[in-house]
Every structure is written in C-alpha cells, then in structure tokens.
Amino acid sequence: MKLFRADRLIDGTGAAPIEGAAMLTDGERIVAIGRAADFGVPDGAEIIDTPAGATLMPGLIDVHVHLAYSGAVDPDGFRAETASIHYPAMALRAARYARETLEYGFTSVRDMHAPGGTIIDLRNAIDAGLLEGPRIKAPGLGLTVTGGHMDQAGFGDMMSFRDMNAACDGPVGFRKGVREQLKRGADFIKLNPCVGNRRDERLYRMEMTVEEIRAACDEAHEQGVMVGAHTSGGPPLTAAIEAGCDTVEHAHWIDDATLEMMVERGTFLVPTLAVNEASSTYVLAQPTASVRTRRWAEASEDAKWDRLTRARKLGVKVAAGSDAGFFLEHGKANGREIELLVQGGYSILEAIHCATAVGADLMQIEAGRLLPGKLADLLIIDGDPLADIRILRDRSRLTVFKGGRLAARRLGQHAAAKS
C-alpha cells in the first residue's frame, strides 16, 4: 500500500480541489481519499510525501493521437512517412513516442489509426510489461471508402500502400471491414464518413453513404465496441451521428440541433484544437498554399471557437484529443489541447475534467478520476496547475504513476517519490 500526501488534490470530476489531501492505494487501485489530517497510516504502508505546494491529480488522457506518425510539420508529411518507412520501423519508433507521451503525464491514449495495425501490437507489448507506455486503445486500420480520406490518393498507380488503410465499399464491405479489424484485435472502429475539401470549394462532404455508416456502426455495436468518426461538419456530420457514430473528431461545423442530439445520445465531441492551430498556422504561412486550402484554414479557425462555446453551453461531453503525430510532437505537444480548451472558455478545472474523467469515459477505462476503486493512474505536479495551466507541460515538474507503480520520475534534482 502507498499513502500519498499532497497540499492539493484535484480528483478529475470537476469538483473543487481538496487541500491538505491524502490518498491510499493498494496495488493498482485507489482505496481511499480524504484530508491528510483524518488519515491514519496503515501498517506497512509506504508514505509518499510530495514537495510543498505540490498537486496530486489523475494521469492525463489524450483521446486522439497517432503514435505511428512523427508529428512532422508538413501536410504531406504523413503520406511521405508511409511511403518511406517500413511498418516494423514505424512500430519501433511508436514505442519511443509512447514512452515520451507517458513521461509528459499522459497515462492513457486512444490511437486513431496506424498503418499495418502496428499500435495494436504496441498496446499488447505495453500491457504485457515489455515496454513502458500509456494505456492504449487502438482501432487497427481506419475504414474508408476506396480513394477516400487516408487512402493515399495522389501517389499514382506505381505505389501501393498495403495495409495502410482498410478501403471498403458498400454496407457489406464495411461490415466485413469492421469484422476484420476486430479479428486483428482492435478496441474500437475508426470511420471516415465525412471530410473537408479535397476537390472543390465545399467545407465538408459526405464520403461514406449513410447505409455504409449504419452497417459499420451496427456491426461494431453488435460486437460491443464503439465507433470514432473523422468528420468535418455540416449535414454529413449530423447523418454520421444519427447512423450511430459514438465519437466525432474535429467536427468544426456543428449546428445547435446536432449538439443537442449529441447530448441526448451521449455522443462525445473531440475538437482537436491543437492540430487545427498547428496546421492552420502552417498553411497560412505558406505563400504557395492554394486559395482553397487557405480558405479552409481560415474558416475552420473561426468555426472551431464558436462550436466549442456552444458545445460547452449545451453540455456536450468534450474530451481532450490533440491529434499528436500530425503537426504535433508526441509528449511535448499533447498538453497544448488542454491550454486551448481554457483559451476557448473552459475553466482550468473543466479543462482538466475533459482531459481526465471525460477521456476515461470515452475510452471506457476505470481511470481519469481519483476516487476509491479507480485505477491509480496519477500525477504528482510540483506546483499548482489551477494557478497556471502551462505547468502541466513541464516534464521537469511531473512524476507519473500508472496502475499504482512509478512510471516516470520528474527530471528535477530531487524526486520525493520512491519506487
């Protein structure tokens, strides 16, 4: 058993912090939480006294990452990577990225698609204790229509991208696609029903048919897994939710009626503010960017704040997902999403709630809240994130426990936590 004591404890539920807190863990679970003054020290418990002014809080959760990609700042970067790197090499690199992500305080991530389904194997290696990394939920390959989003159009017939995506067509094809990914070991299904501009001026476009989306969602739900959908917005997004998608990613353009429907159905919104910021900044700084690309970047920047304000007001479940791997470095950049939620009008406590408890609900894991019975995935932060949210991205202030076990120690000269 371990008894943690800290000046402040944020439990992830959105409740006000407990001052002068103590938390008892037994193995991988939390047993009790309260004020240190009311806590005896159980026989044999290891006492972990944190530095003065330190904060205990749940490990962070990023529900949208791509551990297979490097975060190269270039819209074609991921395409080039899949053309030039063997999938086994990608998996080795992903192991490093997973460790970095954990060391920056993210104890769980949902990976949103990886060539060759490599992140399923990474997940298994971490779960088996072979590698250090966050808890991972992985979909294997994303399902997309032939030539659709992520199906690597534009390389010509001479290039083939085996197992880059699962290209499916028709309801039967998508049903089979779902079955294949689940057979491979996927935790959930990634769909690409609705995309941004590729060939014309529209901000969003339906890429899958409603029948295809419904077939994929029905099969996934029948097998007890969720469906996460890459979306852009508008009526195609509304249709994707109606057809059964459980989480909608990016989703810049959403009207109030759709947000209300999401509240009713319990659909999660993953606004991916960080990748939007990084990609728009990149595009708008490129003198050679096409008018269409610029227009999309500008329009999506405006839309994302408006949509977030309305989603918060209407009570939509918003989870923090950065899209690290695209334009964003693993580890260092994941926490930017939390800062941007604050910039978008969430209080720091609310933004932490999005990046802990809501993320855990989306991933269907028993983490994200410091409450009795939950997994002891937690951070000791040297300082108070409620005073300055940016300290969450300072690795030198973080000590990370995953399942009650010391996983990463802060880089400062002295670490109070003992392994």
In angstroms, what is the minimal distance from the CB of 75 to Zn ion?
13
Contact region with Zn ion (CB under 5 A), list: 20-28, 80-88, 284-292, 323-331: 323-331
- Mask: binding to Zn ion, 81-120, rule CB under 5 A, as x and -? -------------------------------x--------
In angstroms, what is the minimal distance from the CB of 279 to Zn ion?
11
Q: Read out DSSP for 295-363?
A: HHHHHHHHHHHHHHHHHHHHT-EE-----BTSSS-TTTTTTHHHHHHHHTT--HHHHHHIIIIIHHHHH
Give me the helices (H) in 36-127, please: 77-84, 87-103, 118-127
Of 246 and 323, the one with the shorter C-beta distance to Zn ion is: 323
Of 112 and 186, the one with the shorter C-beta distance to Zn ion is: 112
Of 4 and 69, the one with the shorter C-beta distance to Zn ion is: 69
Alpha carbon distance, N-terminus to C-terminus of the chain: 12
Residue 396 per-residue DSSP state: G
Q: Within a 10 A sphere around the Cβ of 44, how many other Cβ atoms? A: 6
In angstroms, what is the minimal distance from the CB of 323 to Zn ion?
4
Number of residues that bind Zn ion (CB under 5 A): 2
Kindly state whether residue 62 participates in binding Zn ion, applying the rule CB under 5 A. no
* 164-176 burial code (b ≥16 CB/10 A, e <16): bbbbbbebebbbb
Contact region with Zn ion (CB under 5 A), list: 155-163, 263-271, 279-287, 321-329: 321-329
In angstroms, what is the minimal distance from the CB of 64 to Zn ion?
6
Residue 371 per-residue DSSP state: S
CA 183 to chain centre: 23
In angstroms, what is the minimal distance from the CB of 253 to Zn ion?
17
Per CB under 5 A, the list member of 100, 323, 377, 382 interacting with Zn ion is 323
In angstroms, what is the minimal distance from the CB of 419 to Zn ion?
35
Q: How far apart are CA 224 and CA 178, in angstroms?
A: 12
Of 270 and 408, the one with the shorter C-beta distance to Zn ion is: 270
Q: Which of 352, 401, 368, 365 is nearest to 16 (CA)?
A: 352
Binding positions for Zn ion, rule: CB under 5 A = 112, 323
